Amino acid sequence: MVARRAAATMAGPAPDGVSILKPLCGADDDLEGNLVSFFRLEHEPLQLVFGAADPGDPALDIVRRLARRHPHRDVAIVPACNAEASSPQVGVMEWLLPHARHDILLLSDSDVRVSPDEVARMPPSFDDPRAGMVYQPVVGIGERTLPAAFENLHYTELAGFPSVAIRLLAGQHVVNAKGQCVRRPALDDAGGFAAVRHDGADDYALSRLVAAAGWRLRLAAAPVRTGLSSGVARQSAALDAGPAGHRCRGLGAGAGGVQTGARGVGRPHAARHVAPLAARSGDPAQGSLLHCRLDRGPGGAHGALAGSHLRDRPRGSLPARVRRRPAGVPGGRRRLTAVTPRDPSRHAAMHRLVSAAFASCLLLSAAGAAQPLRVGMELSYPPFEMTDPQGRPTGVSVRLAEALGRHLGRDVVIENIAFDGLIPALKTGKIDCVISSMTATPERAKSIAFSEPYLRTGLALLVSAKSPLQSAADLDAPGRVIAVKKGTTGHQYAAGSLKRAKLLVLDKEAAAVLEVVQGRADAFIYDSLSVFQNQRRHKDTTRAVLQPFREETWAVGLRRDDEPLRNQVNAFLEAFRNEGGFEKLGDEFLSIEKAAFKAQGIPFYF
C-alpha cells in the first residue's frame, strides 16, 4: 500500500524538483528529530519517499505522525522490500524508486539531519548537463556521550575527511551514501538499484556505474551531517533476510553493547576496537575505569566501559552516571555503559587530538602510499592466463601485469574472475583494470575504456575433417552448423553475419571443439592462436584455417573516468614494446606458435 499526501499532481517531473528516498528500520532516540528536519525543508517542489521492509516498523509510525503535522508536504510511504537483494537497503530503495516523481533523487540514511536550506543548494549542482551524481562529505554532530562521540568521529574522520582528501590529492571520487544526489537518467544508465542489489558497498558501486556510463561525479562544498547525540538506541534495528523476504529484527541489550546510531537500514561492519583507553579516578566511590572498547558489529556500534572495581560493586553503590549492563553478554562478563563523559573539556580535547591524528595518517597515506594494482583476468586461457602446478597465476597476461606494476611502483593483485564478470567488476571498482586477452570491440567501448592495442589477432576457423568448408566465405550456407563460444567476438560476428547457417552457441571452448571433432559442427569460430592449438591436439579429426578473416586487437580494459591510469598504461605499453618485452614473452610462452605462423606467412601476435 502506498500512502500519499500531496496537493501536487502526477503531471511529470519538475525541472528542479527533488525526491528524497529514505529507507528506514527501527525507531532510535534521534530518529524523530532527524526526520523532522526533512519535513521542515524549504525547497519546493519536494517529495519525501519513506520505506521499510516491515509494514509494522515503528519508524513508519513516526513518519505517519509527522505527515499529519505537515499536511502540505508531499509524502509517500512504501512498506516493501525486494527480497532478492543481498543489500537490504537497496532492496527497500528498489521499491521506493517507482514512487519518486522528480528527476533529482537524494538518497538519505535515517541518521542524517539537514538544515532548512540544505536541499535547495543541490539542484544548481546539476547545471552541468553531464553531472550525474553530487555527493557530500560526512560530518558527525551533536554527541553528548562517549559512544556517540566515537561514532561521530568515525563518520567525520573515516568517511568525511577521506572523500575530500582523496579527491584533492589523488583526483579520485570516494562516494558515501549519507549524502548522495543522483540524476534519474544517470541512475537509469547505470542499471538502477538492481545493478548493485548484491553489492555490500552499494553506494560506492553505484557511483562507479554512474561514472562508467559517461556521467560526471561532483563533490559538494557543503557536508552532510549525521545527527547522533546520546548514542543509546531504544529500538535500534537491522534488516534480516529470511525465506519470506526481509524483515526487521529488534536488537535488545543482549546484542552486546550500547547501540550508538540510528543507522537506517543496517549494514555489516567489521569489528573495531579502541583499547586500552585508561581513565583512573581518584574517587574511591567510582572505582577504576580500566578500558574503553568500541565494537562495530552487524547491529551498529557498541561502546562499553568496564573495570574490575565497578564490575564487582553492588548495584546501589554505582555512581549515577554509570549504568550496569545486564548479565548474559558473551564471555559471561557484566558491562558498564557510560552515559555521559566525566569532563566535557577533556572529552573535547581528546576529540581534537584523535581527529588530528587521523587526519595526519590519512594525508600521509594518500600522498605517499601507493595502493596495490588490482588486475582482473580469467585464469583459464593458456598460455595467456593460467595457473602453474602450484596454483599460482602465470602466463603472458600475468607477466604483463607484473611488468605494469613495476612500471607504476605498485604491487599487483591478480583477481581471477569469470570472463563475462570482468567488465562489471571493473565498472563497480572491484578491480582497476582488465588484462585478459580482451578484444577491444565498439560494443565494449560503450561501457569501458581501452588502452592502445598491445596485440593483434583475428578470427580463424577450426574445421571438421568431415566438412567441405574451405574458408570463411563458405560459412553462411544452408545446412552448415557453426559452433561459437557465448559472448566472444566469434559469437558476435556469427550472430550478425550468418543468416542461413545454424548457430550452436556453447558456454565452453572445449564443448565447441568437441562438436567439431565429432563432426556435429562444420566449424568453430575462434581466435587464430586457440584454433592452432586445438588443431594440434586433434590432428586426425580437424584442420585449421588460420588466415584471419576478421582482424582484432587486444587492449587493457579501464574505467572510462580513470584517464590518469589510462595514460600511465599507454606509456608503459610503448616503453615495454620498445624494450623488447613483448618479443621476450613470445619467445617464453609462444615459441612453437610463432614459428608456425611465420612458416605460413601469417603475422604473429606481437
Q: What are phi and psi of 111, to 5 degrees?
A: -95, 15
Statement to judge: residues 381 and 362 lie in one domain: no
CATH of the domain at 73: 3.90.550.10
Q: What is the pLDDT of residue 400?
A: 97
Statement to judge: residues 206 and 328 lie in one domain: yes
pLDDT digits (tens, 9 = 90+) for 551-573: 889 999 999 999 999 999 999 99
Res. 53 pLDDT band, cuts 50 70 90: confident
Q: Could you list the residue range(s) of the whole structural domain that residue 429 is in?
A: 373-453+556-589
pLDDT digits (tens, 9 = 90+) for 473-486: 999 999 999 999 99
Looking at 351, 369, 387, the residue that finishes a domain is 369
Statement to judge: residues 327 and 346 lie in one domain: yes
Instruction: Tell me whether residue 172 is in a domain.
Output: yes
Those residues whose C-beta lies under 8 Å from the C-beta of residue 446, and which sit 6 or more positions away, are none
Statement to judge: residues 468 and 576 lie in one domain: no
Q: How many domains does the chain have?
A: 3
pLDDT higher at 332 or 147: 147
Q: Answer yes or no: is pLDDT of 321 > 60.
A: no
Strands (E), 402-556: 412-416, 433-434, 449-450, 455-464, 481-485, 502-506, 523-527, 542-554
Instruction: Tell me whether residue 285 is in a domain.
Output: no
Statement to judge: residues 514 and 584 lie in one domain: no
Q: Single out the residue of 194, 202, 249, 200 nearest to residue 53, CA to CA.
A: 249
Statement to judge: residues 154 and 230 lie in one domain: yes
Statement to judge: residues 204 and 252 lie in one domain: yes
Instruction: Tell me whether residue 42 is in a domain.
Output: yes
pLDDT digits (tens, 9 = 90+) for 383-402: 999 999 999 999 999 999 99
Statement to judge: residues 353 and 483 lie in one domain: no
Instruction: Tell me whether residue 601 is in a domain.
Output: no
CB 251 within 8 A of CB 166: no
Instruction: Tell me whether residue 283 is in a domain.
Output: no
Span of 45-59, 207-221, 273-287, 530-544 with lowest mean pLDDT: 273-287
Instruction: Tell me whether residue 595 is in a domain.
Output: no
Please tell me the pTM assigned to this model.
Answer: 0.42
Q: What is the pLDDT of residue 370?
A: 59
Res. 286 pLDDT band, cuts 50 70 90: very low
CB 169 within 8 A of CB 162: no
Statement to judge: residues 449 and 468 lie in one domain: no
Statement to judge: residues 256 and 116 lie in one domain: yes
Strand order in the sheet with 373-377: 412-416, 373-377, 433-434, 557-558, 449-450
3-class secondary structure for 60-105?
A: HHHHHHHHHHCCCCEEEEECCCCCCCCCHHHHHHHHHHHHCCCCEE
Most confident among 163-177, 535-549, 591-605 (mean pLDDT): 535-549
Q: What is the pLDDT of residue 76?
A: 94
Q: Which residues pair with 133 in a beta bridge?
A: 182, 217
Can you tell me the distance from the alpha carbon of 574 to that of 570, in angstroms, rounded to the nearest whole number? 6
Statement to judge: residues 163 and 306 lie in one domain: yes
pLDDT digits (tens, 9 = 90+) for 197-233: 877 677 778 888 888 888 888 887 667 666 555 554 3
Statement to judge: residues 7 and 116 lie in one domain: yes
The H or E element that residue 233 is part of is none
Can you tell me the distance from the alpha carbon of 416 to that of 436, in angstroms, rounded to the nearest whole number? 10
pLDDT digits (tens, 9 = 90+) for 31-47: 888 899 899 998 889 99
CA triplet 592, 597, 600: central angle to 5 degrees? 130
DSSP state of 429: T
CATH of the domain at 475: 3.40.190.10
Q: What is the pLDDT of residue 224?
A: 67
Instruction: Tell me whether residue 606 is in a domain.
Output: no
